[in-house]
Amino acid sequence: MSQIQEADVVRVLRNVQDPDLHRDIVSLGFVKKVDIDGGKVAVVVELTTPACPVKEQLRGECERWIRTIDGVTDVHVEMTAQVRGPAAQSTGPVLPGVKNVLAVASGKGGVGKSTVAVNLAAALADAGASVGLLDADVYGPSVAHMVGGEGQPQQNPQGMLVPFDAHGMKFMSMGMLVGDQSPVVWRGPMASSLIQQFLTKVDWGEIDYLVVDLPPGTGDVQLTLTQTAELTGAIIVTTPQDVASEVAQKGLKMFGTVNVPVLGVVENMAYFKCGHCDARHEIFRPRGGDKPFASWGVPVLGAIPIEPELAALGDEGTPVVKAAPDSDTAAAFRALAQTVASGLSTIAMTQAGAGMPTAIDADGPLLQVTWDDGHVSRHNFQRLRFLCSCAACVDEHTGKRKTVLEFIDPNVRPMKIEQSGRYALQFTWSDKHDTGLYTFTRLRELCECESCAAKEKQSAESSRGAAR
Ligand code: ADP
């Protein structure tokens, strides 16, 4: 009998597909180690999250395929995980060490957004991930109470705030920053600068997931947080009564404008399970079951039952996934955590080439932006400054430009370029103009390199031809 070769094992493992990424685990780089000892084969498969919903399915498939090799007597498949995050920011990350930032949002208060954020974070931590939880609901910070992490945070010798340890998670609340002044401070531009300062002042260390409990609604604070915290993705919590409301769907639009992928909706208080007869009662369910959610255009990630115990457990400062791990509610939160983790992995693994800049060079005669697909776009400074589309440069009603190219200083240069979230660059120009954002999509369109200019010319000519 011929000896089993590593190549034989790798060949059969190419038949095992990741159902979300639609690629085999070998080409995805998941197979980390193959040990062969006579007829015994041991492999290590590294997934992209410890909360992988198909972990056991993949393990079983690996085992089955390895057993098809002649001479195999014994198979051991070890499943490990290394959480990956999306590509790094070109202008330096606001949250270094944090691999994924997930926003938990809702259209209005009281739908259970904080409850979902807390239990989702706790379920991810339970699965073995390192997790941070940030209560950014400055209008009604309640998470501290729900996880029992109250008091004043300590500062480390570098002056950074040290998060609390709460049930194996790192926890910090933004409400601590402003104390009693919150109603005034959390409005307008002051909110934006406070949020930026706060985000860079917390020592999260190395974590896989930072779950951010956003304030309800879609105002200034939410938008600034969404832009500055470099969100990997967002989920929107709603209740069955709320599903048809415009307010609930506004969040979708907000994340859309700033290019943050919405993983889907969580339907909280979806049903009540009777303790006596075990029947499921969909008390608040709108007519048509799941159908009303179809208009959202994003998937339903999970349905959480009404759990009378939740409020009481919240008061005790223990998430239900910790206090009652065998309950239906805890199981629903664990399933939600797996779906969310898998969605975030898919974003991280498929993001290369998704249109993010990886390097910016403004030191030469032109601005050069290198993109994650390798393209280097080139921009004349004066033209780029002229094409600013902020309200000061373009009339909001007529869409007409308020200035002409010749009026812009020919020697204008960017003094500062900052990345705004995952969707735009913000320039501070030498003529002091600093209100314009250039979305990544627009910057790519404005590229003046030879091949882009030629394409532009061609399309202009063909549209002129069509008009004739
Ligand atoms: P939000 O963050 O949207 O304002 P909270 O998470 O603070 O909402 O929840 C509001 C109240 O509803 C809390 O008392 C909480 O315990 C309760 N609650 C949330 N989800 C559920 C649920 N699935 N079953 C029962 N009570 C819930």
Domain boundaries 6-82, corresponding CATH code: 3.30.300.130
- Ligand 1 atom nearest residue 308's Cα: 25
CA of 105 to the centre of ligand 1 (A): 14
CATH assignment of 98-352, given 2.10.109.10, 2.40.10.10, 3.40.50.300, 3.30.365.10?
Answer: 3.40.50.300
Q: For domain 357-458, give the fold.
A: NE0471 N-terminal domain-like (3.30.2020)
pLDDT at 313: 79
Which residue has the CA at smallest separation from atom 13 of ligand 1? 311
pLDDT at 467: 54
Pairing of strands 367-371, 357-361: antiparallel
CA of 304 to the centre of ligand 1 (A): 11
Whether the CB of 111 sits within 6 Å of ligand 1: yes
CA of 315 to the centre of ligand 1 (A): 11
Mean pLDDT split into 10-residue runs, the chain, 468 residues: 88 92 88 96 96 94 97 96 74 78 92 94 96 87 78 86 92 74 62 77 93 88 81 90 75 82 89 77 63 72 87 81 91 94 85 74 94 89 92 81 90 89 84 87 88 78 62
- Ligand 1 atom nearest residue 137's Cα: 2
Record the tokens describing residue 372, joined without a space. Answer: 């994650």
Tell me the C-alpha distance between 49 and 160, whole Å. 28
- Ligand 1 atom nearest residue 268's Cα: 23
- Ligand 1 atom nearest residue 108's Cα: 3
Record the tokens describing residue 442, joined without a space. Answer: 């627009």
Report the sign of the C-alpha dihedral through residues 434, 440, 441, 447, in that order. Answer: positive
Predicted TM-score (pTM) of the model is 0.78
Whether the CB of 283 sits within 6 Å of ligand 1: no
pLDDT at 241: 78
Whether the CB of 303 sits within 6 Å of ligand 1: no
CA 19 to each of CA 197, 302, 323: distance values in angstroms, whole numbers, following the listed order: 40, 19, 32
Report the chain's C-alpha Rg in angstroms.
25
Whether the CB of 260 sits within 6 Å of ligand 1: no
- Ligand 1 atom nearest residue 110's Cα: 4
pLDDT at 294: 66
* Residue 397 identity (one-letter amino acid): H
CA 322 to each of CA 121, 171, 262, 314: distance values in angstroms, whole numbers, following the listed order: 11, 16, 27, 11
Whether the CB of 242 sits within 6 Å of ligand 1: no
pLDDT at 14: 95
Whether the CB of 135 sits within 6 Å of ligand 1: no
CA of 111 to the centre of ligand 1 (A): 6
Record the tokens describing residue 352, joined without a space. Answer: 């290369």
- Residue among 199, 214, 29, 13 nearest 109 (CA): 214
- Sheet of 414-420: strand order equals 414-420, 424-429, 437-439
Whether the CB of 48 sits within 6 Å of ligand 1: no
Which residue is it, tokens 């009339």?
395
The domains of the chain are located at 6-82, 98-352, 357-458
Whether the CB of 107 sits within 6 Å of ligand 1: no
Full 3-state SS string of 105-136:
ECCCCCCCHHHHHHHHHHHHHHCCCCEEEEEC
* Residue 296 identity (one-letter amino acid): W
- Residue among 363, 355, 372 nearest 438 (CA): 355
